[in-house]
Amino acid sequence: MHFILFDGDRRESLLPLTYTRPVADIRTGILTLREKWEKRLESRVGVLTEDYLQKKFPMVCGADNVLIKGSLLADDNLVKAILQLQSGQGLFFEEQLLACRIPDAEKFGDTDSLKRMEYNKAYREICHTWDIFSINGEAMEADFQLLTTGRNSAPISQTNRVSHPDRIFLEAGAVVEHCVLNASSGPIYIGADALVMEGCLIRGGFALGDHAVVKMGAKIYGPTTAGPYCKIGGEINNSVLFGYSNKGHDGFLGNAVLGEWCNLGADTNNSNLKNNYAKVRLWNYASGRFDQTGLQFCGLIMGDHSKSAINTMFNTGTVVGVNCNIFASGFPRNFIPSFSWGGTAGFSTYLPEKAFEAARVAMQRRGLSFTAEDEALMLAVFEISKTYRTT
């Protein structure tokens, strides 16, 4: 049986984050959506995504394939219902296809031929970019139980001031000294070989990925996630950084999502609350307009490989695409298309060869390479996103 997560109908609403990854590789809680399924299914999971992404994110299929909507958060009830599917059956919630079991994954799409099996239990799904931080606390609780049940935390140093130590888990090699760890509002999970420097104030829920760093004196309000190899500092509230991204200096980040390989310069701040306390509208690629989020607190959504210079200010509900370089004083506009270079005075096109130079240097610093495969993927994004650029 081969398990495959397909993008489904949520992909466009999750741009710009899904320009560079399948829906299943979005992170919320501690793990990505794919990792949640792999843990619960106890199996490797492939993806079915856009053609230009498929080479980097392969689909492995065979004569017996179970396809699962990639925007779903795995839970025990869903897993049980999916594993009970027989060949030719589809699991539906009203008109939504949640999963199906078919012999030929290459012909996926003919849902009319599936025998309908109704699913009548509640489930969680990432439908919009703002859902990623909105449900982060709930997802973190589930992931914390999944990862730590039946296991013992590495010792927590007595130099720390700790509240609810039973809700704090350190993986092997994690270093946390002279900090305040308060897990009364949510769990605190510190990944393998991660470092929390002295003087940090951390209020759970908080998840720090493997090899990630929290710099001295940081103030973290949960629920916040910093994925593998991230570096964070300053003040952060209810935000998700996917991995390899840096917000290492003073400045505020709140109700925000950063993709991979982002870097926020010193004293970069985002507003997460409008001055008139109105609900926040956010750019939605699917509708082609600023849609109502229903949220009073909503900050910054930033795609992979985007950067901000020192003292950059992002307004409430700002969406930044992939490979953007933002600088200059004042608030830039609150929708910045991919491959944009500039700030309040206007934007020009950030040429791919220049963007790729920066990406190569950034990845080399972490011992990784910007491959020909990465370049082809980014060139595809450049072409796809050109309709949003004015230059």
Question: If you write DSSP's letter for every residue of 367-386 in order, what string do you get?
Answer: T----HHHHHHHHHHHHHTG
Residue 189 lies in a domain: yes
Residue after which a domain boundary falls, among 300, 332, 364: 332
Q: Is the pLDDT of residue 109 over 80?
A: no
Helix (H) or strand (E) holding 232: strand 231-232
Same-domain check for residues 193 and 158: yes
Domain count along the chain: 2
Residue 299 lies in a domain: yes
Q: Is the pLDDT of residue 105 over 80?
A: no
Alpha helices for 135-190 (secondary structure H):
136-148
User: Cβ of 178: how many Cβ atoms within 10 Å?
Assistant: 14
Q: Are the C-beta atoms of residues 281 and 290 closer than 8 Å to each other?
A: yes
Pairing of strands 65-69, 96-102: antiparallel
Residue after which a domain boundary falls, among 118, 152, 168: 118
Same-domain check for residues 89 and 233: no
Same-domain check for residues 52 and 142: no
Rounded-to-integer distance, Cα 241 and Cα 163, Å: 25
Q: Are the C-beta atoms of residues 214 and 230 closer than 8 Å to each other?
A: no
pLDDT above 90: percentage of residues in the chain: 93
Q: Is the pLDDT of residue 29 over 70?
A: yes
Residue 338 lies in a domain: no
pLDDT interval class at 330 (50, 70, 90):
confident
Q: Are the C-beta atoms of residues 385 and 338 closer than 8 Å to each other?
A: yes
What is the value of pTM for the model shown?
Answer: 0.95
Q: Are the C-beta atoms of residues 267 and 253 closer than 8 Å to each other?
A: no
Same-domain check for residues 114 and 137: no
* Torsion angle (degrees, nearest 10) of CA 9, 14, 19, 21: -80
Same-domain check for residues 316 and 189: yes
Residue 374 lies in a domain: no
Please name the residue that has the structure tokens 């296991």. 151
Q: Are the C-beta atoms of residues 49 and 88 closer than 8 Å to each other?
A: no
Q: Is the pLDDT of residue 106 over 80?
A: no
Question: Residue 292 pairs with which residues in a beta bridge?
Answer: 281
Q: Is the pLDDT of residue 142 over 90?
A: yes
Rounded-to-integer distance, Cα 391 and Cα 378, Å: 18
Same-domain check for residues 86 and 151: no
Same-domain check for residues 148 and 281: yes
Residue 19 lies in a domain: yes
- Over range 4-24, report the average pLDDT: 97
Q: Chain-wide mean pLDDT for the chain? A: 96
Instruction: Give the model confidence (pLDDT) of 81-94 as tens digits.
Output: 999 999 999 999 99
Report in angstroms the alpha-carbon separations of 58 from 4, 49, 51, 103, 122: 10, 9, 10, 18, 30
Amino acid occupying residue 123: Y
Residue 356 lies in a domain: no
Least confident residue range of 11-15, 146-150, 345-349: 345-349
Same-domain check for residues 158 and 304: yes
Same-domain check for residues 189 and 111: no
DSSP helix/strand/coil, 33? helix
Residue 25 lies in a domain: yes
Instruction: Give the model confidence (pLDDT) of 248-286 as tens digits.
Output: 999 999 999 999 999 999 999 999 999 999 999 999 999
Same-domain check for residues 48 and 157: no
Amino acid occupying residue 317: G
Residue 344 lies in a domain: no
Q: Which domain holds residue 146?
A: 131-332
Q: Is the pLDDT of residue 107 over 90?
A: no
Instruction: Give the model confidence (pLDDT) of 56-78 as tens digits.
Output: 998 888 889 999 999 999 999 99
- Over range 187-211, report the average pLDDT: 98
Rounded-to-integer distance, Cα 341 and Cα 355, Å: 10
Rounded-to-integer distance, Cα 210 and Cα 87, Å: 39
Rounded-to-integer distance, Cα 362 and Cα 139, Å: 30
Q: Which tokens belong to 118?
A: 């109704």
Residue after which a domain boundary falls, among 72, 92, 118: 118
Rounded-to-integer distance, Cα 146 and Cα 138, Å: 13
Q: Is the pLDDT of residue 236 over 80?
A: yes
Q: Is the pLDDT of residue 17 over 80?
A: yes
What's the confidence (pLDDT) of residue 345?
Answer: 87
- Residues in contact with 168: Cβ distance below 8 Å, sequence separation at least 6, in sequence order: 153, 156, 162, 181, 183, 187, 188, 189, 190, 204
Same-domain check for residues 108 and 136: no
What's the confidence (pLDDT) of residue 303?
Answer: 98
pLDDT interval class at 287 (50, 70, 90):
very high
- Residues in contact with 10: Cβ distance below 8 Å, sequence separation at least 6, in sequence order: 23, 71, 125, 126, 127
User: For 32-70, b where at least 16 C-beta lie within 10 A, e where not — what string?
Assistant: bbbbbbbebbeeebbbbbeebbeeebebebeeebbbbbb
What's the confidence (pLDDT) of residue 391?
Answer: 61
Q: Is the pLDDT of residue 158 over 90?
A: yes
pLDDT above 70: percentage of residues in the chain: 100
Q: Is the pLDDT of residue 182 over 70?
A: yes
What's the confidence (pLDDT) of residue 53?
Answer: 97
What's the confidence (pLDDT) of residue 130?
Answer: 98
Same-domain check for residues 165 and 312: yes
Question: Residue 357 pairs with which residues in a beta bridge?
Answer: none
pLDDT interval class at 350 (50, 70, 90):
very high
**CATH code at 242?**
2.160.10.10
